């Protein structure tokens, strides 16, 4: 009898461990491609490192909000090969940030990102290498979007090509006045390859996505707000551009994001996880995931404290 109870407890424990493992597998570092798709991450990293320049910088703050900066200002923050590798490493660091709640993605020096570095693109213009780069970036940007952090792209200046795709790998986009998001791919004889088309359809719907890609339309803040690509417009009070202007915009974005990240990290991360599963999974699977995530906060410190303080929501 006692043996049976112990066995039942063990099975229950094993069951919940398996559910947790499934949850982590679904929601954490899940990129799209693995070795089963002929994807050799180390080989691609080596190829990309042959195109150096710039950096992708990460600042994790005590507030639980991190700032990721695409930093290659002499090329309008275009992505060199080494920056693609940097991005993947920064995403790994964010995946392991237990105290994190929010993420702001910005470009350095008043411009967001002008896509791939065209010098690298010219040098790897054969389809095989192009597809390897595309798989690498799809993996990194999918993992970025799946982080258990609420993420916002601070779009200042231009977000072109791959830069426009990067904005769609964030949960929200706030556009500074005068900024432009443009999927210029058609003008380059291309379509998005970093997952930007699939994400764009989910953000603005297929009709709008077709117009933006087919017309390579320039999306200013007004159009962005109208079609749901932008979630807000940032108006700087300081005139002109420069460091003061940029840090004022960053402060505005931190304040905006703070409205959604107030509270303990496990709860904010759980919020992102349930929304993410609702967004990505078929309903039955999303419901099971929601139950698993619920189990991680039910009876947790924030829940017990709220119950003890008999909080009212007037």
Ligand X SMILES: CC[C@H](C(=O)O)C(=O)SCCNC(=O)CCNC(=O)[C@H](O)C(C)(C)COP(=O)(O)OP(=O)(O)OC[C@H]1O[C@@H](n2cnc3c(N)ncnc32)[C@H](O)[C@@H]1OP(=O)(O)O
What residues make contact with ligand X under the rule CB under 6 A? 75-76, 78, 114-119, 121, 158, 160-162, 165, 184-185, 188, 190, 193-194
What is the DSSP secondary structure assignment for residue 116, as one 8-state letter?
A: B
Closest residue to ligand X, Cβ-based? Answer: 115
C-alpha distance across the termini of the chain, in Å: 51
- Reading phi first (left if > 0) and then psi (alpha if -120 to 50, else beta), residue 161 is in left
Minimum separation from the CB atom of position 11 to ligand X (A): 49
CB atoms within 10 A of CB 71: 17
Instruction: Tell me the HSE value of 96 on the side-chain side, using a 13 A CA sphere.
Output: 5
Contacts of 158 (CB under 8 A, 6+ apart): 76, 111, 112, 113, 114, 179, 180, 182
Residue closer to ligand X by CB (options 65, 166) is 166
Minimum separation from the CB atom of position 119 to ligand X (A): 6
Minimum separation from the CB atom of position 310 to ligand X (A): 53
Minimum separation from the CB atom of position 261 to ligand X (A): 30
Minimum separation from the CB atom of position 184 to ligand X (A): 5
Identify whether the C-beta of residue 268 lies closer than 8 Å to the C-beta of residue 101.
yes
Residue closer to ligand X by CB (options 201, 302) is 201
Residue closer to ligand X by CB (options 87, 268) is 87
Residue closer to ligand X by CB (options 19, 198) is 198
Residue closer to ligand X by CB (options 22, 47) is 47
d(CA 55, CA 63): 24
């Amino acid at each position: 009898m006692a043996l049976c109870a112990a066995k039942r407890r063990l099975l229950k424990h094993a069951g919940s461990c398996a559910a947790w493992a499934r949850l982590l597998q679904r929601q954490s570092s899940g990129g799209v491609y693995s070795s089963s798709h002929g994807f050799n991450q180390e080989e691609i990293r080596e190829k990309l490192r042959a195109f150096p320049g710039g950096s992708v910088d990460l600042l994790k703050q005590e507030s639980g909000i991190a700032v990721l900066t695409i930093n290659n200002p002499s090329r309008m923050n275009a992505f060199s090969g080494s920056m693609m590798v940097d991005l993947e490493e920064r995403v790994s660091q964010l995946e392991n940030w237990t105290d994190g709640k929010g993420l702001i993605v910005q470009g350095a020096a008043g411009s967001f990102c002008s896509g791939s570095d065209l010098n690298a693109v010219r040098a790897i213009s054969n389809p095989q290498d192009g597809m390897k780069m595309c798989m690498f970036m799809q993996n990194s940007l999918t993992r970025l979007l799946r982080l258990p952090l609420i993420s916002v792209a601070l779009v200042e200046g231009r977000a072109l090509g791959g830069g426009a795709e990067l904005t769609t790998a964030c949960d929200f986009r706030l556009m500074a006045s005068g900024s432009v998001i443009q999927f210029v791919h058609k003008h380059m004889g291309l379509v998005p390859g970093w997952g930007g088309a699939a994400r764009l359809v989910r953000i603005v719907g297929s009709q709008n996505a077709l117009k933006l890609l087919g017309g390579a339309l320039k999306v200013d803040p007004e159009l962005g707000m109208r079609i749901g690509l932008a979630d807000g417009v940032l108006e700087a009070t300081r005139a002109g551009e420069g460091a003061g202007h940029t840090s004022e915009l960053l402060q505005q974005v931190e304040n905006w994001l703070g409205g959604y990240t107030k509270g303990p990290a496990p709860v904010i991360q759980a919020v992102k996880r349930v929304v993410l599963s609702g967004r990505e999974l078929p309903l039955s699977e999303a419901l099971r995931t929601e139950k698993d995530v619920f189990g991680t906060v039910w009876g947790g410190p924030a829940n017990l404290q709220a119950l003890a303080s008999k909080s009212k929501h007037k």
